[in-house]
């Protein structure tokens, strides 16, 4: 199925959520959803290859709202092809901006991707980025390392992070030690959505460095705090990293407090046995239907945040980026990709990515350019007028020239490394080494599912891509033994 036909199908399916929105949301949200449904078919048919707007902007630096879903698969949005998941708010965001079809996370699990986004560098540049993912208090992002937030702050931005941090725990690691003025959220990689018991078996909801008690469903709590931040009076441009835990396990929706309490009790019982993560993993629960409910609650939450942005009068001058931190797992819908979270096959690293900036970008566009997390760091620093630290050169390429001036992206290699897998993409080609050490070569433009291995047919190209991967790897820190 072609990208355009997948998009058309997804948009038509997504319009079916209007009735639910009208029944549960505000009158304004229901009206917006109804309007989106009426225009869905025409909008999808009009989706066109990306082209930069010919007119120049005002030069005003944008606010930046970067929204991350957690373990959201590439095709989990109806606008990316999910036949059973209705995401009208994110579909509308896509129609208002640019939908990327070959966008990637910086790694295949949670914390390394966050390292790559916050630093603009490969996770293996820093000791904390070698953990896949971070799981104890000794690991974390060095507070002395420049970040997207610290560099934008130096350039005059207010900065906040709301939601999942997963780059280390107190007392040594925190967003407020790495450039964010404000933090409200959880430090670890997973938590039970109601009790807020996290992967260390401890309560994990904080405002700054202090515990904040709130036993409501976590997605609701995070959304409320993000809306409050956007509604404030701001006298400077701002960066808001909004990191949902949805739809990461445990598999709980807003009405599942009773199941959440059972999981919380298992967590308490598992503390001394070191089995907390196993209790949170929720292997004895979940379903396609429950996962669908979680993704749709994420969509509704994003809708609330975007409504607050519009009503605040800041929509035109805010660049919104929506993505996932890695591919999906277990219940995720990722067709036609192979692999899932933790793998460097496409299903582990290719993620839905949408960019909207009304003041500078036209809507109803699609881009097939391969991009990955560190590119957004470089892009947002350039748009915000911030300079990278020369002592910590970026591995990402700024997309500003491509998005705003129609410049061609330079030829480059996208690189990934995780324990047991290696991958490199150059144009339409991908080099992949599996856990057995076998090298593979795929032509993604003709084989998104990575089933036609061309390694034997193109030995010289395979050798060239493998050598390029190894040259980059030689510049990174080695994994601990």
pLDDT for 143? 98
Judged against a pLDDT cut of 90, whether residue 15 lies above it is answered with: no
Residues 6+ away with beta carbon under 8 Å from 7: 44, 47, 79, 80, 81, 99, 366
Judged by DSSP in three states, 428 sits in coil
| H-assigned helices in 15-79 | 18-24, 27-46
Band of residue 11 on the pLDDT scale cut at 50, 70, 90: very low
Alpha carbon distance 398, 409 (integer Å): 9
Judged by DSSP in three states, 442 sits in strand
pLDDT for 17? 37
Residues 6+ away with beta carbon under 8 Å from 336: 1, 448, 449
Question: Do residues 175 and 163 make contact, with C-beta atoms less than 8 angstroms apart?
Answer: no
Judged against a pLDDT cut of 50, whether residue 13 lies above it is answered with: no
Residues 6+ away with beta carbon under 8 Å from 430: 423, 424, 441, 442, 443, 444, 450
pLDDT for 273? 73
**Cα 438 to Cα 164, 365, 416, 428, distances in angstroms:** 35, 38, 16, 20
pTM as predicted: 0.91
Mean pLDDT of the chain: 92
**Cβ atoms within 10 A of the Cβ of 480, count?**
7
Judged against a pLDDT cut of 90, whether residue 10 lies above it is answered with: no
Mean pLDDT of 441-454: 98
Band of residue 26 on the pLDDT scale cut at 50, 70, 90: low
Per the rule left: phi > 0, alpha: psi between -120 and 50, beta: everything else, 3 is: alpha
DSSP run (H or E) holding 240: strand 238-243
pLDDT for 224? 98
């Amino acid at each position: 199925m072609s990208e355009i036909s997948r998009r058309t199908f997804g948009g038509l399916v997504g319009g079916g959520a209007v009735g639910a929105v009208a029944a549960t949301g505000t009158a304004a949200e229901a009206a917006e959803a109804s309007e989106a449904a009426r225009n869905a078919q025409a909008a999808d048919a009009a989706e066109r290859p990306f082209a930069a707007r010919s007119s120049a902007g005002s030069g005003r630096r944008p606010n930046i709202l970067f929204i991350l879903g957690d373990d959201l698969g590439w095709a989990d949005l109806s606008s990316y092809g999910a036949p059973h998941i209705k995401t009208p708010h994110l579909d509308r965001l896509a129609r208002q901006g640019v939908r990327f079809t070959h966008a990637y996370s910086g790694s295949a699990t949670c914390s390394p991707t966050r390292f790559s986004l916050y630093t603009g560098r490969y996770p293996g540049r820093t000791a904390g980025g070698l953990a896949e993912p971070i799981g104890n208090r000794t690991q974390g992002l060095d507070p002395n390392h420049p970040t997207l937030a610290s560099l934008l702050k130096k350039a005059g931005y207010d900065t906040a992070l709301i939601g999942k941090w997963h780059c280390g725990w107190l007392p040594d690691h925190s967003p407020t030690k790495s450039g964010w003025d404000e933090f409200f959220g959880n430090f670890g990689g997973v938590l039970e959505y109601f009790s807020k018991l996290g992967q260390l078996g401890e309560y994990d909801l904080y405002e700054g460095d202090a515990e904040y008690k709130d036993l409501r469903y976590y997605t609701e709590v995070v959304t409320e705090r993000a809306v409050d931040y956007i509604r404030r009076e701001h006298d400077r441009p701002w960066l808001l990293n909004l990191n949902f835990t949805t739809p990461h396990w445990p598999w709980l929706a807003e009405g599942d407090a009773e199941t959440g309490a059972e999981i919380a009790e298992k967590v308490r019982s598992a503390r001394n046995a070191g089995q907390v993560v196993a209790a949170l993993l929720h292997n004895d629960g979940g379903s396609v239907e429950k996962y669908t409910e979680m993704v749709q609650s994420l969509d509704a939450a994003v809708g609330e945040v975007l409504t607050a942005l519009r009503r605040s009068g800041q929509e035109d001058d805010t660049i919104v980026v929506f993505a996932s931190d890695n591919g999906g797992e277990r219940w995720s819908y990722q067709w036609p990709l192979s692999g899932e979270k933790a793998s460097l096959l496409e299903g582990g690293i290719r993620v839905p990515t949408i960019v909207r900036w009304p003041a500078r970008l036209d809507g109803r566009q699609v881009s097939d350019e391969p991009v990955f997390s560190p590119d957004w760091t470089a892009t947002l620093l350039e748009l915000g007028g911030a300079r990278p630290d020369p002592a910590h050169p970026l591995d990402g390429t700024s997309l500003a020239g491509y998005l705003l001036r129609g410049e061609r992206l330079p030829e480059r290699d996208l690189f990934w490394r995780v324990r047991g897998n290696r991958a490199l993409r150059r144009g339409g080609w991908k080099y992949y080494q599996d856990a057995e050490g076998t090298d593979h070569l795929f032509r993604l433009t003709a084989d998104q599912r990575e089933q036609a291995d061309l390694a034997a047919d193109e030995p010289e190209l395979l050798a060239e891509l493998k050598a390029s991967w190894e040259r980059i790897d030689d510049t990174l820190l080695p994994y601990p033994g």
